[in-house]
Structure 1
Amino acid sequence: MQAVEPLVDQNSDPAAVPPLAGFTVGITAARRAEELGTMLERRGATVQHGPTLRIVPLADDTELLASTRALVARPPDITVATTGIGFRGWIEAAEGWGMGEDLLAALGSGTLLARGPKARGAIRASGLTDAWSPPSESSAEVLEYLLDAGVEGRRIAVQLHGEPLPDMVEALTLAGAEVVEVPVYRWVPPADLGPMDRLTDTVLAGGIDILAFTSAPAAASLLARAGERGVREELLTALRGPVLALCVGPVTAAPLEAVDVPTVQPQRSRLGAMVRALEAEAPARARRLPVAGHRLELRGHAVLVDGALRTVPPTGMALLRVLARRPGRVVSRAELLGTLPGGGDDEHAVETAVARLRAALGEPKLVQTVVKRGYRLALDPAAGPVPVGGHCVHGGAP
């Protein structure tokens, strides 16, 4: 999935401007990426997809086959199902190996716990019955439940959800349980690293406003690959500053928060809830300025002028961000020249870029020429303190 521009009319009714119009979202997911991208594009976002991992097919996973054989031979006393898709895939893989009925019998002979409603639905769809599920859909609450009930001498199968659960496994083992880890699907680096590298490069170039993560391995893989390329610190700087890290839940956010990257998460770990959280967060991060009798709102790669969306080319946005850092104050041509691609020493290039910026904004008086000095945003002096959003996206210090 390449970057896709949303279909938004330049002169559309302000009330019809989608909440994510003007923002570019990078998607790191391998699974359900198209679904997430569609939800974002419907809300006006531009999307760039760079999967940071891929899933090993269940039927080809020798670790899962070994765990399944072990559990059929010695059924577990307790089975913890953490994801619906993982549990269903496990049963389907066992059926392909000719062990489907034997696995169901083995699991059914003990107690089944479901981490959430999707896992519960998968258990029941297989003809089995779950005994308990936490309201929080949290692995930590499942662990607490097991430890309170006592697990000494019990054989417990823990279905993993794409990554190890070392804290849970260690706690159960220390409490006297025998734990069998069931890797129903495993994440590995993508076969083609190109899209992931291009996504990282776009982040470093300032072309991504929000980076969306739907699994902890996706975040870990992106950071690991950035380390291999020697750009890990630059990527972390971007994620700690202008780029918003959007995560589907606390488990996904953990690898980022461990390296001091702030994240935004929904209350419920669902794709739809994540997108709704972004709808509320992204517009609040925009920079808002009263300029030349108009209301100017700077988003990632577009501007709202009096509520109407104006798409601005990257060079124009770069100039506008520099001007917006010191609204009302003159910025020299030499300083603006340094923001243009390729640099150079021809200040005439600044004049050309400013002319194009004015044309894109549709209101030439927003950017004022100060003869022999440079340019300024024509900030309204009577407007009082300059209102800003929660952050100046890609704008540096206000």
Structure 2
Amino acid sequence: MGITGLQGRRIVIAGSRKTDEMSLIIEKQGGIALTRSLQGLTMFEEEQLEEPLRKFATEGADWVILTTGLGSDSIMGAADKLGIGEEVKERLLQARIATRGYKTSAFMKRTGLKATVSDDDGTMQGLMENLSAYGFEGQRVWIQLHGETAPELVRYLQERGAAQVVSVLPYRHVPPEPATLALLMGELTEAAVDTVCFTTAVQVHYLFRHAIQAGNQDQLLEIFDKHVVAAAVGKVTAEALTEYGVKRMVVPDIERMGALIIEIVRYYELHDGATT
């Protein structure tokens, strides 16, 4: 693979972490790195956890669904601060637990908990498919989320007869600057960029919500279909793109930023450097 595999290509980094590292990799491949952070801010709202945690410590649940390792750690940390860490741990031991993603599986190992259902590919769809082997009629379900609600998961559980579904969000996402979204949309419309690297699903959500609010979703889909390559760091981010209708995308087998850039290089090499 040549060192100029992205020669002259304008590659947008939509994340906010390790942007210097990603930029360096892009530039070493001959590309031009543009940071347009769509990540926004993630705010930890510990005070919002007290009521649901105290209720969980008292009543427990039949099922607990943990969707992120960081969120699971935060919940246990908040429980310890409230002086109910042991009670919460005991309720977790009594419940059936379903986990999503390898970081959540790592949390389970650290805390000595066992999962009834484990979905290491990290997608909500994969989690729901794995849960399909179990009945939820009359069951109480407690879900740990991260930053955003999961209406499709809640609806899935309710349709399968769950008597109660409680969602707990220790973190809340604050949207990126409107000017950043407008700038990127303008660049996409003008075909002024070649690829957008999405490193989390929330970045995809913010871009498409912006387009939907402006009535430009169809235009954005056409741009990704014909002119600009959408690149996703992993399965969860790719799932978000698919949900909005993006069909052409680059996704590495290894969910790492460096691997993502190399996969973009391979994409352009396979297409003989043709304009996308």
* TM-fit CA distance, 1:171: 2.0
Structure 1 residues 152, 232: CA separation in 2 closer, same or farther (over 3 Å shift)?
closer
Structure 1 residues 76, 260: CA separation in 2 closer, same or farther (over 3 Å shift)?
closer
- Aligned with 1:45 (options 31, 35, 38): 31
The number of residue pairs the alignment matches comes to: 274
Say if 2:142 is the partner of 1:157. Answer: yes
Structure 1 vs Structure 2 CA RMSD: 3.2
- Aligned with 1:28 (options 14, 23, 32): 14
% same residue? 26
* TM-fit CA distance, 1:259: 4.9
Q: Is the CA contact 1:247–1:263 (under 8 Å) kept in the aligned structure 2?
A: no
- Aligned with 1:280 (options 241, 266, 274): 266
Q: Is the CA contact 2:45–2:170 (under 8 Å) kept in the aligned structure 1?
A: no
Give 3-state SS (helix, strand or coil) of 2:170's partner.
coil
Structure 1 residues 259, 168: CA separation in 2 closer, same or farther (over 3 Å shift)?
closer
Q: Is the CA contact 1:19–1:43 (under 8 Å) kept in the aligned structure 2?
A: yes
Structure 1 residues 285, 98: CA separation in 2 closer, same or farther (over 3 Å shift)?
farther
* Residue 12 of structure 1: aligned partner: none
Structure 1 residues 43, 98: CA separation in 2 closer, same or farther (over 3 Å shift)?
farther
Q: Is the CA contact 2:235–2:251 (under 8 Å) kept in the aligned structure 1?
A: no
Per-residue Cα deviation, 1:316-340 (whole angstroms, up to 9, x for no partner): xxxxxxxxxxxxxxxxxxxxxxxxx
Distance 2:116 2:99 in 1: 8
Q: Is the CA contact 1:248–1:270 (under 8 Å) kept in the aligned structure 2?
A: yes
Say if 2:5 is the partner of 1:19. Answer: yes
Structure number with greater CO (CA < 8 Å, separation at least 6) is 2
* Residue 140 of structure 1: aligned partner: 125
* TM-fit CA distance, 1:194: 3.0
* TM-fit CA distance, 1:36: 4.4
Per-residue Cα deviation, 1:50-77 (whole angstroms, up to 9, x for no partner): 2224233223562x44433332232122
* Residue 212 of structure 1: aligned partner: 197
Equivalent positions of 1:1-398 (< 5 A) are 17-31=3-17, 33=19, 36-60=22-46, 62=48, 64-134=49-119, 136-177=121-162, 178-190=164-176, 192-226=177-211, 234-254=219-239, 256-266=241-251, 268=253, 270-272=255-257, 273-287=259-273, 389=274, 392-393=275-276
What TM-score comes out, normalization by structure 2 length? Answer: 0.80
Per-residue Cα deviation, 1:92-135 (whole angstroms, up to 9, x for no partner): 34444554444333323323232232211012223433344246
Letter of the 2:125 counterpart: A
* TM-fit CA distance, 1:26: 1.1
* Residue 384 of structure 1: aligned partner: none
Give 3-state SS (helix, strand or coil) of 1:197's partner.
helix
Give 3-state SS (helix, strand or coil) of 2:227's partner.
coil
Structure 1 residues 196, 150: CA separation in 2 closer, same or farther (over 3 Å shift)?
same
Structure (1 or 2) with the larger CA radius of gyration: 1
Q: Is the CA contact 1:134–1:142 (under 8 Å) kept in the aligned structure 2?
A: yes
Structure 1 residues 85, 67: CA separation in 2 closer, same or farther (over 3 Å shift)?
same
Structure 1 residues 119, 135: CA separation in 2 closer, same or farther (over 3 Å shift)?
closer
Distance 1:159 1:278 in 2: 34
Structure 1 runs not aligned, ≥5 long: 1-14, 288-388, 394-398
